[in-house]
A and B are shown apart, each in its own frame.
Chain A
Amino acid sequence: DSGVTQTPKHLITATGQRVTLRCSPRSGDLSVYWYQQSLDQGLQFLIQYYNGEERAKGNILERFSAQQFPDLHSELNLSSLELGDSALYFCASSELGQHEAFFGQGTRLTVV
């Protein structure tokens, strides 16, 4: 168990819908990262939050947004979903930016 908790584990939804993925980092970790893993793109960095503030952005679509709350848990919001958004979404956390990162079990999103 990595200590990073993601919910839900599986999500099936229709095109055009909106979903929220939730992540609780390891106790004491201030950094939260979101990654998307699809078959053709591999593991892609989406966004990083550090202690409640957005710290870095990667290949995140405008239809996607995230935030980190005062208790350090994070949510990734995906809207106007398309078939191509089907993927495994991972949350990771680390104490600081340069420390070892630990990953949650992932949320498998299927858009039908």
Chain B
Amino acid sequence: GIQVEQSPPDLILQEGANSTLRCNFSDSVNNLQWFHQNPWGQLINLFYIPSGTKQNGRLSATTVATERYSLLYISSSQTTDSGVYFCAARRGDRGSTLGRLYFGRGTQLTVWP
């Protein structure tokens, strides 16, 4: 399977600070997703980003598939950003019905007021 490594494992920030989370993957992937798991356990989709750069408000993500990494940027952190951030990758042909995701261990983010 694909090995997915995330760094850092833990991150503590003051409200208003910026941060960069990294995801490295061991093999060629066709798709990559970023999720936020909130304190209630819900997995919330942040980005579906097989390549390139996307932005959504204070969050943005970049995937460089040829170099096998993805970055998640959080700007002007808020306490509600706290939780665990996961990246997950999948491989296979675009028309494939196979679609299991390989998850990293996550980055635990704590934002203090």
Question: Which positions in A face B, CB cutoff 8 Å?
Answer: 2, 30-31, 33, 35, 42-43, 45, 48, 50-51, 55-56, 58, 88, 90, 92, 94, 96-103, 105-106, 108
Contact = CB atoms under 8 A, between A and B. Distances in A.
Interface stretch (B10-18, B20-28, B93-101): B93-101
Contacts of B35: 103
Contacts of B42: 103, 105-106
Contact of B41 (A96, A97, A105): A105
Given A55-B98, A98-B30, A98-B95, 18 more contacts: A2-B44, A30-B97, A33-B99, A33-B100, A45-B100, A48-B99, A55-B97, A56-B98, A58-B100, A96-B96, A98-B90, A98-B94, A98-B96, A98-B99, A99-B99, A102-B45, A103-B35, A103-B42
A43 B103 CA distance: 6
B105 A97 contact: no
Contacts of A94: 99
B48 A97 contact: no
B interface residue count range (under 10 / 10 to 19 / 20 to 34 / 35 or more): 20 to 34
B85 interface: no
Contacts of B31: 98, 100
Given A55-B97, A101-B101, A42 B33 contact: no
Interface of B: 30-31, 33, 35, 41-45, 48, 86, 88, 90, 92-103, 105-106
A70 B32 CA distance: 30
Q: Chain A's interface: helix, strand, loop or mixed, by majority?
A: strand
22 contacts: A2-B45, A30-B97, A31-B97, A31-B99, A33-B100, A42-B106, A45-B102, A48-B99, A55-B98, A58-B100, A96-B95, A97-B92, A97-B96, A97-B99, A98-B90, A98-B92, A98-B96, A101-B33, A102-B45, A103-B45, A105-B42, A106-B42
